[in-house]
Amino acid sequence: MKIKQLMISLIALMLLNVSVMAQNTPPKREFRGAWIQAINGQFKGKSATEMQQMLTQQLDALQAAGINAIIFQVRPEADALYVSSIEPWSRYLSGVQGQAPNPYWDPMAWMIEECHKRNMEFHAWINPYRAKTQASAQTDPKHITNQHPEWFLPYNNQLFFNPALPECRAYIRSVVTDIVTRYDVDALHMDDYFYPYPANGQEFPDEADYQRLGAGFNNKGDWRRHNVNLLIEEIHNLIRELKPWVKFGVSPFGIYRNQKSDPYGSDTNGLQNYDELFADILLWVNNGWIDYNIPQIYWHVGHPAADYGKLVDWWAKHAGNRPLYIGQSILNTVQNADPNNPNQHQLPLKMRLQRQYQTIQGSCQWYTQNIVDNVGNYTELLKQVYHKYPALPPTSPFMDNKAPKKVSRLAVIGTDDGPVLMWTAPAAKTEMDRAVCYVVYRFAKGERVDLSDPSHIVVITRDTYYNLPLSIEPGQYTYVVTALDRLHNESKLAKKKIKL
């Protein structure tokens, strides 16, 4: 009997170890994003050269840490960190709204090129409603608040587009159209600011609009949610019409609703998207109005009001109808110890929790400078453990599930610099079918060709060639090349045995 119990215990322990290893083994497909913000003033007053040097340092650090998607803030307050005929240059560049960079350059165009050079997605991050972060801030005469002051509402020393007005929605759609049509963005991204975060003792001044426009709604909350829903659905449909391969995502506040407000909600006690920000995230997910969701779960495991583990579990179980990624606060993670291992901060624990759910397909880091600074050895842990191997971004089968054709004419060419593996891009009838990058895998003699194992990925590249390394152990290798389209559908393989 004791032997039987011992065997059962050993089997259970083995299964547990396998489970833990599976959770820590980097998957082949995972969203690994990072936010780069402008509103903190990190670019203000810098020359083009200085800003490019700073961004290059950040992108290089993120690439080394395995990041495959950049969410870059291009519209902090109805302004532009890009060339726009609609909105003025952002004061977060020169310090003066409307003042063009000198020498003249386009930060968003430059970032897109640099991200794609590193095989990172570029997500253009806009704030939909915020027009002034400080009511007293000087605005350019062409700023929309000066052109149409009747569209805006003051609140908590800021100025906001009135979400109830169809004119505001039309204007925001025009900004989205401009970005999506003129720039090769991979996604359009909105942050957590919908109706403004509530300020103590202040009511958002839209009572007159509710009385005028709220017929058919039982309460102001439903009417406000309807206003935001209209914008989200309209932007989703607009982007699909303009470029059906461009994704539309949001990064909402980390709590949808508390259980005290709704039995369907999470076991938390904090501000709520649904009730205070009037953002009905689950409706957007379930109606397919957004293409990914990154709730900002910036708390730690054990937080008394908003426990990270409880929130990850809640989102995983309720928001899986669209790709779900977890917004991570690096500082919060490294400043709090694992409750079961006080000598270790919470990154290992959080990654275990995140990767145990099939509905969670990655995470996004807040914020980039912490990666550059390797705060709490966070970056090294990503490099050595959690992002040890390259990862392809998740697919979006609800947008497109057709893979490109496979590459052809796979061959090795001798050059003065050594052997080069070359191939020809597959033919494509439409932009959705076009191969935009390639995955090169390597397998040693005797190894089974298994494309599900990311440890065999040697490079993800936009080139149609790969310089074969001379530094690896001599022998025969099988090289495999696949093609990826804009939504990361992977083609069938082409392979070649090569002796090095």
Same domain, 347 and 221: yes
Same domain, 253 and 366: yes
CB atoms within 10 A of CB 297: 27
Same domain, 56 and 172: yes
Q: Is the pLDDT of residue 245 over 80?
A: yes
Domain presence at residue 400 = no
CA–CA dist 375, 331 (Å, integer): 7
Minimum mean pLDDT range among 376-380, 466-470, 479-483:
466-470
Q: Which residues pair with 441 in a beta bridge?
A: 457, 480
> 25 pLDDT band (50/70/90 cuts)?
confident
| Amino acid identity, position 429 | K
Q: Which residues pair with 189 in a beta bridge?
A: 125, 249
CA–CA dist 417, 438 (Å, integer): 22
Which CATH number characterizes residue 426's domain?
Answer: 2.60.40.10
Q: How far is CA 389 from CA 63, 236, 441, 445, 459, in A?
A: 12, 33, 12, 21, 10
Q: Is the pLDDT of residue 258 over 70?
A: yes
Same domain, 149 and 246: yes
**Residue 41 structure tokens:** 């003033």
> 454 pLDDT band (50/70/90 cuts)?
very high
Domain presence at residue 316 = yes
At which residue do the structure tokens 């099988």 appear? 478
Domain presence at residue 3 = no
Q: Which tens digits make up the pLDDT trace of 202-237?
A: 999 999 999 999 999 999 999 999 999 999 999 999
CA–CA dist 19, 71 (Å, integer): 32
Domain presence at residue 391 = no
Q: Is the pLDDT of residue 13 over 70?
A: no
Same domain, 373 and 419: no
At which residue do the structure tokens 């006080």 appear? 342
Same domain, 104 and 223: yes
The total number of structural domains that make up the chain: 2
Domain boundary among 329, 354, 386: 386
CA–CA dist 323, 342 (Å, integer): 33
The predicted pLDDT at position 471 comes to 86
Same domain, 230 and 310: yes
**Residue 457 structure tokens:** 């990925």
Domain presence at residue 82 = yes
Q: Is the pLDDT of residue 283 over 50?
A: yes
| Average pLDDT of the residues in 136-158 | 97
Q: Which tens digits make up the pLDDT trace of 333-347?
A: 999 999 999 999 999
**Residue 139 structure tokens:** 């605005």
Domain boundary among 386, 420, 448: 386
| Average pLDDT of the residues in 112-134 | 97
| Average pLDDT of the residues in 251-268 | 98
| Average pLDDT of the residues in 170-196 | 98
Domain presence at residue 10 = no
Domain boundary among 352, 386, 420: 386
- Contact present, 56 and 112 (Cβ < 8 Å): no
Q: Omega into 103 within 30° of 0, i.e. cis?
A: yes
- Contact present, 184 and 110 (Cβ < 8 Å): no
Q: How far is CA 436 from CA 66, 122, 209, 350, 430, in A?
A: 19, 14, 47, 33, 12
**Residue 404 structure tokens:** 């490109």
Domain presence at residue 127 = yes
Q: Which residue has the higher pLDDT, 369 or 14?
A: 369
Same domain, 166 and 260: yes
Residue 201 falls in which region: left (phi positive, over 0), alpha (psi -120 to 50) or beta? left
295 DSSP assignment:
-
DSSP codes joined into one string, 165-218: -HHHHHHHHHHHHHHHHHS--SEEEE-S-SSPPP-TT---S-HHHHHHH-TT-S
Q: What are phi and psi of 12, to 5 degrees?
A: -60, -40
Domain presence at residue 186 = yes
Tally: H helices and E strands in the chain = 14, 20
Q: Which residues pair with 498 in a beta bridge?
A: 477
Strands 437-444 vs 476-484: parallel, antiparallel or unpaired: antiparallel
Q: Is the pLDDT of residue 8 over 70?
A: no
CB atoms within 10 A of CB 235: 24
CA–CA dist 54, 42 (Å, integer): 9
> 277 pLDDT band (50/70/90 cuts)?
very high
Q: What are phi and psi of 187, to 5 degrees?
A: -160, 155
| Average pLDDT of the residues in 304-313 | 98
Helix (H) or strand (E) holding 314: helix 308-318
CA–CA dist 262, 46 (Å, integer): 48
Q: Which of 393, 382, 303, 360 minimizes the C-alpha distance to 31?
A: 393
Q: Which tens digits make up the pLDDT trace of 63-110?
A: 999 999 999 999 999 999 999 999 999 999 999 999 999 999 999 999
- Is residue 79 classed as helix, strand or coil in its secondary structure? coil
Same domain, 276 and 413: no
- Contact present, 71 and 36 (Cβ < 8 Å): yes
**Residue 80 structure tokens:** 């532009």
Strands 494-499 vs 476-484: parallel, antiparallel or unpaired: antiparallel
* pLDDT, mean over the chain: 94
Same domain, 422 and 302: no
Q: How far is CA 46 from CA 42, 95, 252, in A?
A: 9, 9, 31
* Residue 245 lies in domain: 22-386
Q: What are phi and psi of 91, to 5 degrees?
A: -70, -15
Which CATH number characterizes residue 209's domain?
Answer: 3.20.20.80
Percent of the chain with pLDDT over 70: 95
- Find the distance separating the first CA and the last CA of the chain, reported in whole Å: 57
Q: Which tens digits make up the pLDDT trace of 391-443?
A: 999 999 999 999 999 999 999 999 998 999 999 999 999 999 999 999 999 99
pTM for the full predicted model? 0.94
Q: Which of 244, 159, 222 minimizes the C-alpha distance to 196?
A: 159
- Is residue 60 classed as helix, strand or coil in its secondary structure? helix
Task: Let me know if 79 is exposed, middle or buried by CB neighbors in 10 A (0-12, 13-18, 19+).
Answer: buried
CA–CA dist 274, 317 (Å, integer): 18
